[in-house]
Each structure stands twice: as C-alpha cells, then as structure tokens.
Structure 1
Amino acid sequence: MSSEANRKPTLSVTSGLSRNAVILRLEGELDVNAVPVLREHLQRIWELPPQPFLILDLGQVAFCDSMGMNELLSVMQRCEARGTRLLLGGVHGVMARVLSITGLRHAFEVFARFDDALRLAVAAS
C-alpha cells in the first residue's frame, strides 16, 4: 500500500439548508482520500426527504482527481434518481479545468459563482 493511500483527507465539508436547497461547501482536495469524507456527509443528505436542489459549492476546492470526479458523477446520478437538481457553484480554477479536460463541463449545471447557483434555486421556490 502506498503512503498516498494512507494520507489523511484534506477535505472539509459543511452543509446547510436554504429554502428548497441543501448546500454542501467543500474546501480542500477532492481526491481518493477525501471521497469517504464527502460520502459521509452525503449519506446524511440522502436520508433526508428529497429537496428540489442540491448545491455543491466547489469554490474552495484546490485539487480534484479521477476519484473525486467519479464521486461527483455518482452524486449527479443519485440526484437524478431522487428528482433533485444538482448545481455546481463556485466552479473556477482547478474545478473548471478538470470539468473541461474530462469533457464533463456540460454534464453538470455549472456556475462560476456560488451566489448564481443559489439565486437560481431561490428563484425556483
């Protein structure tokens, strides 16, 4: 096992509610070590009654590897199954590049500013 696999996650996740949206703010690195941290927070979300929107604030994500992207795709699929609209806010820098390079930029509803994603969700209520 590599030392990379033993490294502690460098991702913090906070959550909250705003009218008809659940908001998750991610800060740090969304990598193989951080996926369990994100899944733990998401498990609590999946146990709630479905909300019209789930907004992921990615503005403070400094790194994202293929496992992080795979988890975002899983979140999108789970949201679709629940009838929840997934919005990615704060997508710039690293996350904008990763979504572009992987060809997934148009698979998600992406907003450069978190506030724009939140505004859309609030307007829909």
Structure 2
Amino acid sequence: MTAEPSVQATDTSGTSLIMQLSGDMDYETAPFFRERLLDEMAGGQRRLVLDLTAVSFCDSAGLNVLLWAWRQADQAGTVLVLACVPPKVQRMLNMTGADTLVTVYGTVAEAGDELVADGGV
C-alpha cells in the first residue's frame, strides 16, 4: 500500500514557490504528481523549490516525474531545484546522473537563499 500523495504549495513573498511533496512517488502516484506539479507550475513563478522531506518512497517512475518537472520548468525559463532529498532518493539521483541536471540543496532555506542571491540560479 502506498502512502497518500500530496503536493502543498507555499509562495514565499514572490521570490520562490515551495512545493512540498509527500507520500510515495511510484508508478501508481506518478500521474497525480505530474498533474499537481503542472497545475502549480502554470502560475508563472520563476523559481520553484521541490521539498522532498516527506517523500516516503521513490522508484524510477517517481524519478521520471522529477526529471519531467525539471524539463518543463527549464523549457518555460523557470529554475527548479530540489531540497531536503531523502538519502535513498539522493542515491538514485547520484547513480543515474540526474544530480548533474537538477540542483539539490540540504534545506528549503538554503535553496531559497541561493535562488534569490543568484537572481534565479
């Protein structure tokens, strides 16, 4: 049984949109995450932080969702980064080389500070 997926978005005073993903990211929940992320990305925010603190499981379908979101953001001229990546997900990012595409920060605060300091990246 998979943990119930959710995406909670928080706008940080117009500087970044933080989206906390939670639950299992797998083949069953991938369509939900794609739809929710696309809905949030349609708002036109130029800086997005995906907070993965509450992601309890992530398989290749979940990784595919993260890479898909990064591509969608990149094509729209939006910066998308990851924060608070659980060790098992970080290992998957490292093993696949995805960490060379998507920037990963230890905390949401680090990600937000860096995005603002760099003017977007």
- Give the root-mean-square deviation of aligned CA atoms: 1.9
Question: Residues 70 and 119 from structure 1, CA distance in 2 versus in 1: closer, same or farther, beyond 3 angstroms?
Answer: same
Assess if the C-alpha contact under 8 Å between 2:41 and 2:73 holds in 1. no
Q: TM-score, normalised by structure 1?
A: 0.82
1-side partners of 2:36 and 2:17: how far apart?
11
Which residue of the partner structure matches residue 4 of structure 1? none
Which residue of the partner structure matches residue 30 of structure 1? 25
In structure 1, give the amino acid aligned to 2:34.
Answer: R
Assess if the C-alpha contact under 8 Å between 1:9 and 1:33 holds in 2. no
Q: Does 1:52 align with 2:49?
A: no
In structure 2, give the amino acid aligned to 1:105.
Answer: D
SS in 2 for 1:59: strand
In structure 1, give the amino acid aligned to 2:40.
Answer: I
Structure 1 or 2, whichever has the larger Rg, is 1
Which residue of the partner structure matches residue 90 of structure 2? 96
Q: Deviations over 1:16-41 (max 9, x none)?
A: 21122121101221111111221221
- In structure 2, the gaps of 5 or more residues are none
- In structure 1, the gaps of 5 or more residues are 1-6
2-side partners of 1:60 and 1:93: how far apart?
12
Q: CA deviation at 1:81?
A: 0.8
Runs of 4+ in structure 1 deviating by more than 4 angstroms, as ranges, are: none
Tell me how many residue pairs correspond in the alignment.
Answer: 118
Q: Does 1:67 align with 2:71?
A: no
Q: TM-score, normalised by structure 2?
A: 0.85
